[in-house]
């Protein structure tokens, strides 16, 4: 009975948050149209559904790789589950994941009038992908993977979190990476580091598919979401080119070339999928993506425990805000400038 109440609590909270997000998006669209005009997309309406399905399935695949739906931490097994002679796999985080993917799917589909269909498809596919890890060894291994996946929320050190993800990929595919020969070519090293960070190509598919699926009905929102997400993704791509104390002028050139290439891909997607794209929009896109990618890829950590009163009944940490919000103001301003250029205002 207690687990049922916990599950209902998580679902209700997720539904409330999702409702606020959906209502905000519905009110944001006419505001953007009134302010910037209409930004028409070239994406046909018939493409919206398959793009959304591909994006949602890829999102579920990424979540299963980073945060397995069924998992068991070693501490919970030793101190709680084993004395009770139980081997649970579903917990509160599992329900949160189902609610999260359902909320994202509903947000993507609400503009097309298919919010509940998308939500059902996303939740069912997430449930089916997560119905594995039935043995104790599999559950404990999934628990380690989940701990690494949650590291970005509990450990405020960008380099440590990135390296933990890469190490987790190596551990899960040990035979593949042990067969890799040492190399000194920076381009080859960057390609290998990109491959170890498996979440980067998956995020590319998710961002492109979900943004373009919203483009026919919510073109303004789709532009802003795409540019913000793509610029943040650029930090992960740029981090593959940083070699710390072993860096050189050659690796610095590799950094700028890779980040510029990432920005040009965003400009190309913008040019192909939205109408009335002018040079100003493309320049703003490239500058924004390059700046955010380079700035957010630099090693950063939250080292201060100082908190201040926000005046809203809650204490906030300026160090945490600076850690998570690094470069996002520029990204938001750049996205608005690009939207204004596309809309012709």
Residues of the chain with pLDDT under 70: 1-41, 172-180, 244-248, 276, 309-314, 343-345
- pLDDT on residue 322: 83
Residue 211 carries which DSSP code? H
Residues 238 and 340 in one domain: yes
* pLDDT digit string, tens, across residues 71-125: 888 888 888 888 888 887 788 888 889 988 998 999 898 878 888 899 999 999 9
Residues 148 and 202 in one domain: no
**Cβ–Cβ < 8 Å for 220, 336:** no
Residues 258 and 127 in one domain: no
- pLDDT on residue 127: 92
Q: Token digits for 341?
A: 């250029």
> Has residue 232 been placed in a domain?
yes
- pLDDT on residue 9: 57
Q: Give the count of domains, the chain.
A: 2
Angle at CA 148, nearest 5°, toward 145 and 153?
135
Residue 42 and residue 87: Cα distance in Å, rounded?
A: 51
Domain that holds residue 89: 7-19+42-152
> Has residue 189 been placed in a domain?
no
* pLDDT digit string, tens, across residues 289-324: 999 999 998 888 887 777 776 666 667 778 888 888
H/E stretch holding 316: strand 315-316
Residues 147 and 205 in one domain: no
> Has residue 183 been placed in a domain?
no
Local structure of 37: helix, strand or coil: coil
């Amino acid at each position: 009975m207690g687990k049922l109440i916990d599950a209902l609590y998580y679902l209700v909270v997720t539904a409330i948050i999702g409702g606020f997000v959906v209502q905000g998006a519905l009110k944001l669209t006419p505001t953007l149209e009134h302010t910037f005009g209409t930004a028409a997309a070239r994406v046909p309406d018939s493409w919206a559904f398959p793009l959304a399905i591909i994006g949602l399935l890829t999102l579920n695949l990424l979540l299963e790789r980073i945060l397995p739906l069924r998992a068991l931490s070693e501490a919970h097994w030793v101190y709680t589950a084993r004395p009770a002679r139980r081997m649970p796999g579903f917990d509160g985080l599992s329900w949160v994941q189902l609610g999260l993917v359902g909320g994202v799917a509903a947000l993507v589909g609400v503009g097309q009038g298919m919010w509940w269909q998308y939500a059902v498809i996303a939740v069912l596919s997430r449930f089916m992908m997560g119905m594995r890890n039935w043995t104790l060894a599999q559950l404990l291994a999934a628990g380690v993977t989940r701990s690494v996946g949650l590291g970005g929320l509990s450990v405020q050190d960008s380099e440590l979190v990135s390296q933990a993800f890469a190490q987790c990929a190596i551990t899960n595919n040990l035979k593949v990476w042990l067969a890799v020969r040492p190399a000194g070519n920076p381009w080859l090293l960057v390609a290998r580091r990109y491959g170890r960070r498996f979440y980067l190509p998956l995020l590319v598919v998710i961002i492109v598919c979900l943004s373009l699926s919203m483009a026919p009905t919510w073109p303004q929102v789709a532009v802003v979401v795409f540019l913000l997400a793509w610029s943040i993704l650029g930090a992960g791509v740029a981090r593959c080119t940083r070699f710390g104390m072993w860096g050189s002028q050659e690796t610095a050139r590799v950094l700028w070339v890779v980040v510029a290439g990432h920005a040009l891909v965003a400009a190309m997607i913008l040019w192909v999928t939205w109408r009335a794209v002018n040079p100003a929009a493309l320049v703003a896109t490239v500058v924004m993506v390059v700046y955010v990618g380079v700035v957010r890829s630099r090693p950063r950590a939250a080292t201060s425990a100082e908190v201040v009163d926000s005046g809203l009944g809650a204490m906030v940490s300026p160090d945490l805000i600076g850690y998570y919000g690094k470069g996002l103001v520029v990204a938001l301003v750049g996205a608005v400038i690009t939207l204004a250029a596309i809309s012709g205002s």
